[in-house]
Amino acid sequence: AQSVTQPDIHITVSEGASLELRCNYSYGATPYLFWYVQSPGQGLQLLLKYFSGDTLVQGIKGFEAEFKRSQSSFNLRKPSVHWSDAAEYFCAAAGDYKLSFGAGTTVTVRA
């Protein structure tokens, strides 16, 4: 069955430190991959997406993600975290008419 896994439920990071959120997918072929962010009380906002081509994808708010076919991963990174990055992050994969989301990773930023 197609699935998206985010192994980390919660990550705490200091402001200014780097952040990496993990995402693994299980699909028959390489799916289209997305990262969304959900701030408290808000809907989801697309950070970046990967369809094909360059495996390092740049997104909004200083985020980037790297697609690694050999590891079935699409990890999200940010070199220096800001307090406003505290939110829940969802990895998603598209296929069969729908988006399948991971369980999400909650990021807490400490001063």
Partner 1 sequence: DSGVTQTPKHLITATGQRVTLRCSPRSGDLSVYWYQQSLDQGLQFLIQYYNGEERAKGNILERFSAQQFPDLHSELNLSSLELGDSALYFCASSVGGQGALTINEQFFGPGTRLTVL
- The rounded distance, in Å, linking the Cα atoms of 55 and 52 is 7
Number of residues that bind partner 1 (CB under 8 A): 22
**Binding of partner 1 by 60 (CB under 8 A):** no
Secondary structure of 60-89 in HEC code, one letter for each residue = HHHCEEEEEHHHCEEEEEECCCCHHHCEEE
Q: Choose the binding region for partner 1 from 16-24, 42-50, 55-63, 70-78 (rule: CB under 8 A).
A: 42-50
What are the residues whose beta carbons fall under 8 Å from the beta carbon of 83, sequence distance 6 or more?
A: 15, 109, 111
Which of 35, 100, 107, 109 binds partner 1 (CB under 8 A)? It is: 100
Q: Which is nearer to partner 1, 42 or 84 (CB)?
A: 42
Residue 81 beta carbon to partner 1: minimum distance, rounded to whole angstroms: 23
Q: Choose the binding region for partner 1 from 15-23, 41-49, 57-65, 74-82 (rule: CB under 8 A).
A: 41-49
Which of 104, 105, 107, 109 binds partner 1 (CB under 8 A)? It is: 104
Q: Are 48 and 58 in contact (CB under 8 A)?
A: yes
